[in-house]
Amino acid sequence: MKKTRVLVAMSGGVDSSVTAALLSKAGYDVIGISMRLGTHDTIEVDTEKPSCCSLEGIEDARRVAAQLGIPFYAVNYEASFAKYIVDYFCAEYSQGRTPNPCILCNQELKFGRLMKLAHQLEAEYVATGHYARIRYDSQLGRYLLLKGIDRGKDQSYALFSLTQEQLSHALMPLGEYTKKEVREIASELGLKTRDKPESQELCFIADDDYNRFLTERMPESIKPGPILDTRGNILGEHRGIQFYTIGQRKGLRLSLGKPVYVVKIDPANNAVIVGDKHELFKREFRVQNLNLIGREHLDEPIKAKVKIRYNDPGHRAMIFQISADEAKVQFDEPYGAITPGQAAVFYDNDVVIGGGWIASNGR
């Protein structure tokens, strides 16, 4: 009987290594794939934190594949990464928004380009080392996305934008494991990556210095401008709106005798607006590019827990669908630092209802 073929996205880390091992043990015809995404930074730094998809990571993935006895290939997606991730990252900051490139990478590359490759190689699935779960609900006739059982590692937030087609051809076996268990499995198998530390926050910024990266990538777009209070009074000058985000307090270089926070960024007037902490708190906001997972449409408003950033525990809110592409989120209580450009993801306990991209920082 012919085995079901699966492509495993292997970054060279312990999570993707164990994913390949588990699926191979389960009887799948496993092919290891690493994405070569290119070098988009101007510097390289020595760090104990590895970068996913680096040349070192690809070599580690190749060695693990050899240990497991599975074929391995590296594919060059440098142009796609530059377009969908790096250019987007820079453009969002120039529009006064705070981007989330990891979500776009999942959507466009891991479950975009790799799924096209899987089809070409007659593979049924693409598998990743994400800590999340996928289930098919026969009554709904839809695939569901759930949190991973390891709450400290759950990555469902970064997967909210996956479509039914993508979910139907995705495998995430680590959703049923804790990180500790994954390390133990890697140790039992003697995998080279068993003790490898977590990768750095953004794989294309070597030192995690966003300001330096943006300055070097787009110097012509960075211009000083006014820092205003919420009444329009000029309080000082900012270095460029790209260097600020909602909720920021440090680095404003203002002496007002009290702490103030960035409450709004106005790209049309190249202005940063600051206010007291209470002015960060809003009751409602809109999301665009709405993606619903367990249903096609919200026929009526629903109650959900909403996360507005990766490490957010989530807060209770009502979700009102406005159009096919847009929804309004209304918190039960005012909530702070709602940041345009970030994702808002809706949950019903462990199940991801859907989500969208925050279009405004609310009112």
- What is the C-alpha separation between 269 and 335, in angstroms, rounded? 26
Q: How high does pLDDT run on average in the chain?
A: 93
List active site positions: 105, 203
CATH hierarchy code of domain 5-189: 3.40.50.620
**Per-residue pLDDT at 177 exceeds 60:** yes
CATH hierarchy code of domain 223-275: 2.30.30.280
Question: Whole-model pTM?
Answer: 0.93
- What average pLDDT does this structure show over 181-190? 96
Q: Name beta bridge partners: 132.
A: 147
CA nearest neighbour of 240 among 223, 227, 253? 223
Query: Within 10 Å of residue 52's Cβ, how many Cβ atoms?
Result: 24
* Residue 183 one-letter amino acid: R
pLDDT tens digits, one per residue of 27-78: 999 999 999 987 777 776 655 555 555 778 899 999 999 999 999 999 999 9
CA nearest neighbour of 162 among 355, 13, 331? 355
CA nearest neighbour of 90 among 280, 220, 196, 276? 220
Range 280-358: architecture per CATH:
Beta Barrel (2.40)
Residues near 221 by beta carbon (within 8 Å), at least 6 away in sequence:
90, 94, 240, 242
Share of the chain above pLDDT 90, in %: 87
pLDDT tens digits, one per residue of 72-107: 999 999 999 999 999 999 999 999 999 999 999 999
pLDDT of residue 44: 65
Residues near 329 by beta carbon (within 8 Å), at least 6 away in sequence:
284, 285, 286, 287, 306, 317, 318, 319, 320, 344, 346
Is 280-358 in the same CATH topology as 223-275? no
- What is the C-alpha separation between 19 and 78, in angstroms, rounded? 24
CA distances (Å), 242 to each of 212, 219, 274, 294, 339, in order?
A: 11, 11, 15, 36, 14
Mean pLDDT is lowest, of 55-64, 131-140, 154-163, for: 55-64
Mean pLDDT is lowest, of 41-50, 172-181, 206-215, for: 41-50
**Which stretches of 68-131 are assigned E, i.e. beta strand?**
72-76, 125-127
Domain chopping of the chain, boundaries: 5-189, 223-275, 280-358
Residues near 68 by beta carbon (within 8 Å), at least 6 away in sequence:
20, 21, 24, 30, 32
SS3 (DSSP) at 166: helix
